Amino acid sequence: MTRQFHLSLQRPARPASGAAARTHAHWFRWHGEDPFGNGSLYRCRCGVVRSGL
């Protein structure tokens, strides 16, 4: 079972040279248990990892 939750949209501060600014909506999916706490870790496809709520 994969737990998912969706976070608000974020816009990059500066686009790369010549590239159009694109919005990225973090789509967090359960990644595993937090080894240093009692919660879970959720990872976005862009690499951002957050602890469970």
Q: What pairs with residue 30 in β-bridges?
A: 42
Please list the pLDDT of the chain residue by residue as tens digits (53 residues). 456 555 555 555 555 565 666 788 889 999 998 888 888 999 999 999 998 86
- What are 8's two structure tokens? 């608000």
pTM for the whole thing?
0.53
